[in-house]
Amino acid sequence: MSTFEHIIVESKGAVGIVKLNRPKMLNALSFGVFREIAAAVDDLEADDAIGCIVVTGSDKAFAAGADIKEMQPKGFIDMFSEDFAAIGGDRIARCRKPTIAAVAGYALGGGCELAMMCDIIIAADTAKFGQPEITLGTIPGIGGTQRLTRAIGKSKAMDLCLTGRMMDAAEAERSGLVSRIVPADKLMDEAIAAAEKIASMSQPAAAMAKEAVNRAFETTLAEGMSVERNLFHATFALEDRSEGMAAFIEKRKPVNKNR
């Protein structure tokens, strides 16, 4: 597996772990960090042994945003030409394997946006989420106004984007941004346990479930129902589906072959 400057990548069984590693800057996100995350996701997605990926930061900060010190001198043409998506900045959002953001401490600006690129957010009770870009004279730029609004509704998303305030883990769970809250000292145990559970399922079936849920997030109900129906029918081509139902009937655990 590749080695990186700003992140640490390891695997625990069928779980890949990407840990942001710029603690002195509260894991501020630079283009270089996003390039490394993209390369790590390429590696983990290509590894058949990996069934789920966890992205995490430090106890104090998942990521306190894009790197303000690196952004400050930039102008329009700098940001326009080094287009974030073009460098693979949204690669984690395009990963076919399920992804979990394990968030403790600050997830602000680009940090909240990175967490929302993941499929599931599990928050420590210390987590704080926000899109404070407005306080810097800018706005979210990698999904914050779009994913946040779809996740928590217009009014609260507008509140966070216009006031720049943070919301704590409890408010984030109440609003639907976060799947569950766990004690800070149990965050990685819980996130890895969830990832192991997901990785134990049929990987093609998990990819289909992920695609169907994402389409609900991104399109009309009619279109989403059509996608779901087609993918549901497609699961009947999986050996894993036949094995899964046979295992239930025979009262035994299924043996998934990921096909």
Q: Which chain residues interact with ligand LEDWP2DD by CB under 6 A?
A: 25-26, 28-31, 34, 64-71, 74, 84, 89, 106, 108-110, 132-133, 136, 140-142
Concerning whether 110 is annotated as a catalytic residue, the answer is yes
> Which CB sits closer to ligand LEDWP2DD, 89 or 254?
89
Looking at beta carbons only, is 25 or 50 nearer to ligand LEDWP2DD?
Answer: 25
* Selected catalytic residue, list 133, 143, 194, 195: 133
66 is catalytic: yes
Return the residue matching tokens 């004690």: 183
Options 110, 111, 144, 244, the catalytic residue:
110
CA 170 to each of CA 122, 150, 174: distance values in angstroms, whole numbers, following the listed order: 12, 19, 6
Shortest Å distance, C-beta 67 to ligand LEDWP2DD? 4
Contact by Cβ (8 Å): 14, 199: yes
Residue 11: alpha-carbon gap to chain centroid: 17
Between CA 21 and CA 16 the distance in angstroms is 16
In this structure, are residues 66 and 25 in contact, taking their beta carbons and an 8 Å threshold? no
Catalytic residue, chosen from 65, 105, 113, 143, is: 113
Residue 96 DSSP one-character state: S
Sign of dihedral through CA atoms 250, 253, 257, 258? positive
Task: Choose, from 28, 40, 64, 66, the residue flagged as catalytic.
Answer: 66
Which H helix or E strand runs over 218?
A: helix 203-218
Is residue 139 a contact partner of residue 160, using CB atoms and an 8 Å limit?
no
**In the complex, least distance from residue 190 CB atom to ligand LEDWP2DD, rounded to whole angstroms:** 24
Nearer to ligand LEDWP2DD, 36 or 119 (CB): 36
Residue of minimal Cβ distance to ligand LEDWP2DD: 109
Is the CB of 51 or the CB of 109 nearer to ligand LEDWP2DD?
109
Instruction: Give the active site residues.
Output: 66, 110, 113, 133
